[in-house]
Structure 1
Amino acid sequence: MTANKARIVVLISGNGSNLQAIVDASEAGRIPGSVVGVISNKADVYGLERAKLHNIDSQVVDHKQFETREEYDEVLAAAIESYQPDVVILAGFMRILTAKFVNTFTGRLVNIHPSLLPKYQGLNTHQRALDAGDEEHGCSVHFVNEQLDGGPVILQAKVPVFSDDDADSLAQRVHVQEHLIYPLVVKWLCEKRLRLQSDGVYLDNSLLPEQGYANDE
C-alpha cells in the first residue's frame, strides 16, 4: 500500500459480500484506497474468511461480551482507531450505534441500506416493499448519523419489482446494485470528493438533492 492511499476499515456481521466488492475494486485500482482492517461483532462469519484470503487484518469485537451498548461502542471505536482510518464502512454490520460512536466518526462513516430511503428504515425491507405493492425498490448509501438509517443519502440505485418476485429474488437483484454503488461511494470518499455539512452532502462542492447523486456515471 502506498502512502497516499486512503485507509479503509470495514465493519461486518455476516457474509461480507459488500466487503468483497470494495476489496475487489481496491485491488483493481478503481478505489484509491486499501482495506486495512475488517472488524466483525460475530465470530465464524464468512466475511472474516474473505479478509483472510486477501491478507487483510481482522478482529472480532463480540457485543455479547459487554453489558451495555456504550461499553461495546467504546471498545469498538478504539479497535477502529487502531487502524488510523480515513473511511469507515458499515457493510452489513447489524448493530445500532450510540450517538457518541457516530459523532466520533462523523463525515467518514457510511452505510448501505437495502431500500430507497427514507422508505423502509430498519429490517425486512424487501418483504415490506412487496407488501406495499411497490413498482420499484433498491438500495441507498448514506452517511451515518444518530438516527437509524436516517443519515443524508449519497447515492441510490433502483430495481424493478416484478409480479412473481418474492423477498429472496428481490434481494438478489438489489445486491447486484449494492455491489456497484458502494465501491463508487467509497471511491468518492477516498478521493475526498464527498463532504458532509450541516445542510447536506456535497459532491465536488455541489449540494446533492435529498435522494443523493442522480446522474448516470
Structure 2
Amino acid sequence: MVLVSGSGTNLQALIDASTSPDYGVEIVAVGSDRPGILALERAEKHGVETFVLETSSYADRASWDIDLAAKVEGFDPDLVVLAGFMKLAGPAFLALFGGRTLNTHPALSPSFPGMHGPRDALAYGVKITGATLFVVDEGVDTGPIVAQVAVPVLDDDDEDTLHERIKASERAMLVEWVGKLARENFHIDDRAVRLGGAPT
C-alpha cells in the first residue's frame, strides 16, 4: 500500500520495481488526501486500485484519521509506504499500522526534521546531508531508522539543486529497502530496525 499527495515519482519507482518477480512486492492500492494528482494517474495507468480521502470532507483530523486507517486496513497490507504523503499519521492509523509504515525524509535524521531539510542543511553549512528511511511513529521524522544515504553539499548548491540530488538518492534507497523489508521481514529492537522476524 502506498499513500501519496503529489506527482508520484517515488511511487513510479516502486511500481517499476514491482514488475520484477524477484522484487517480491505487490502494490495492493494507492491512496491520497488529494484528488486529481499525477500520482493517482500513475497508479491507475498500471491497474492499481486507488482511493481519495480529503481532509476537507471531515469535521476534524481525528475523524479523517479513523477513516484512513479503516480504508487502508481493508486492503490488508503488510507495509504502508508514505511516498510524498503530506499528512501526519494520527493515533488511529498508528494503532493499526505503527511499526510497519515507512516514510522518507530529505536529511540525515535526527538532523533537520520537518518540511525544509535541504534548506536547513544549507543554512547550517553542513558538508554532507542525505536522506533517511524510517518507521513512522507519532513524532515528526523521529521514528526508528531503517536506512540512510549520504549526499555531499556542493559549494554552488541552492535548495533546489541539493533537493533534486537528495531525491534521486532517496528514491533508490526507498526502492531497495521496501523490497528488502518485504522479502526478509523486519522487527524493531528498541530503536534498531533488524531484518528478519523478531527473536523468540
TM bucket, shorter chain: over 0.9
Distance (Å, rounded) in 1 between the aligned partners of 2:117 and 2:19? 31
SS at match of 2:95: helix
**1:96-147 CA-partner distances (Å, limit 9, x unpaired):** 2212321310221111111100011111111111111110111100001111
Match of 2:41 among 43, 49, 56: 49
Runs of 4+, deviation exceeding 6 Å: none
Over aligned residue pairs, what C-alpha RMSD do you find?
Answer: 1.7
Distance (Å, rounded) in 2 between the aligned partners of 1:206 and 1:161? 38
Distance (Å, rounded) in 2 between the aligned partners of 1:178 and 1:199? 21
Match of 1:177 among 166, 169, 174: 169
Say if 2:17 is the partner of 1:12: no
Greater shift after overlay, 25-34 or 109-118?
A: 25-34
Say if 2:140 is the partner of 1:115: no
Match of 2:89 among 97, 112, 115: 97
* Deviation of 1:56 (Å): 0.5
SS at match of 1:94: coil
Who is 2:74 aligned against?
82
Distance (Å, rounded) in 1 between the aligned partners of 2:190 and 2:165? 34
Q: Which structure 1 residue ranges, 5 or more long, are not aligned? A: 1-8, 208-217
Say if 2:121 is the partner of 1:134: no
* Deviation of 1:188 (Å): 2.0
SS at match of 1:80: helix
Distance of aligned partners of 1:96 and 1:163 in 2 relative to their CA distance in 1, 3 Å threshold: same
* Deviation of 1:206 (Å): 9.9
C-alpha contact 1:31 1:186 (8 A) present in aligned 2: no
C-alpha contact 2:186 2:198 (8 A) present in aligned 1: no
Distance of aligned partners of 1:85 and 1:206 in 2 relative to their CA distance in 1, 3 Å threshold: closer
- Report the TM-score, using the length of structure 2 for normalisation: 0.94
Distance (Å, rounded) in 2 between the aligned partners of 1:40 and 1:120? 26
Who is 1:25 aligned against?
17
Equivalent AA in structure 2 for residue 53 of structure 1: K
Say if 2:32 is the partner of 1:40: yes
- Report the TM-score, using the length of structure 1 for normalisation: 0.87
* Deviation of 1:29 (Å): 3.2
C-alpha contact 2:187 2:195 (8 A) present in aligned 1: yes
SS at match of 2:10: helix
**1:16-37 CA-partner distances (Å, limit 9, x unpaired):** 1111111111113342011110
Q: Which structure 2 residue ranges, 5 or more long, are not aligned? A: none
Equivalent AA in structure 1 for residue 27 of structure 2: V
* Deviation of 1:49 (Å): 0.7
Work out the percentage of aligned pairs sharing the same amino acid: 35
Say if 2:133 is the partner of 1:144: no
> Whose helix fraction is larger, Structure 1's or Structure 2's?
2
SS at match of 1:59: strand
